Amino acid sequence: MKLNEFLELAVPADKLQDVLWKNDNFQIHYNQSVPSGNGINSVDINRNTVLDELELHNMKMTEFDKLLQKYGWYISYINSHSINLLKLNTIDREYYDDEDSFYHGIYLHFTKVVPTKILKSGLIAKDSLDPEMDKSGTVKRGIVYPDKRVYLWKMEDISGNLERDDKDFDTRVIKAIKTLINSIGADGYGQYIYLVKLPSGLKTHYDNEYGTTCPARYVTQNVPPSYLKYIGTVSRMKEIIETGNAKRLLQILNIEK
């Protein structure tokens, strides 16, 4: 199995309102001023206006979501006032040419699924649609997305500008993994951790919802077992971090200084 590249096609955020009105006679209102250009990946629109339009067009919220996807956007979350829209399939445009980096193309994945199953079937991409969207025009699960995804945590982001000859190398590696585990609440994803090595040159999708503190990326296809290595449990990783056992941590992460 081979993971494929993809294209990013989306109407600029500031044009989405006009496009929906012109093409679909569907009215939305932004909850804030939206700058022009393709650099805007997230926008909030007025929830009550959308609910009124759904009633007028006899549409469901999930049907509105599919309408948005035609223009490269999707519903990420809904609260009492706003519907947050994110750009669909945003390309991770960070630097990918440092083939010498010991973190190049390396990601972590946390899950509740046991190694005997994962190492046989690989990581299966799944969506997170919420039936509450059509029942009450809101969501229960917090963040939703329409496409099937496998979430990964990018090691190059965690490491920063770390070099092999840095005198504080061990300390920074430990701190990086500790920060990731704590900031994403790794236990909530599951106890089992897998090291994921993606093919050279493959770019992942960037999830704007997580910001810069948590380097979340995702692919929209299954990840085959040949790309995976089981490296232990979250509790075991925490134990290694707390004892400052950098040598063992580097062995687990398959990193050579």
Residue 1 lies in a domain: no
Digit-coded pLDDT (tens) for 82-116: 999 998 876 555 544 455 566 777 889 999 999 99
Q: Do 153 and 220 reside in the same domain of the chain?
A: yes
Decide which of 54, 87, 120 is a domain's last residue. Answer: 87
Q: What residues make up the domain containing 190? A: 106-252
pLDDT at 61: 96
Better-predicted residue by pLDDT, 99 or 244: 244
Q: Are residues 161 and 227 in the same domain?
A: yes
Q: 238 and 161 in one domain?
A: yes
Give the angle 119-122-125 at the CA atoms, nearest 5°: 155
How many distinct structural domains can be found in the chain?
A: 2
- Whether residue 98 is contained in a domain is answered as no
Residue 162 has pLDDT above 90, yes or no: no
The reply to whether 36 and 153 lie within a common domain is no
Question: Across the strands, what pairs with 228?
Answer: 196
CA angle 114, 3, 217 (to 5 degrees): 65
Q: Which candidate, 44, 124, 98, places its Cα nearest to that of 76?
A: 44
Q: Do 50 and 147 fall into the same domain?
A: no
Pair 75, 69: CB distance under 8 Å: no
123 and 241 fall within a common domain: yes
| Average pLDDT value for the chain | 84
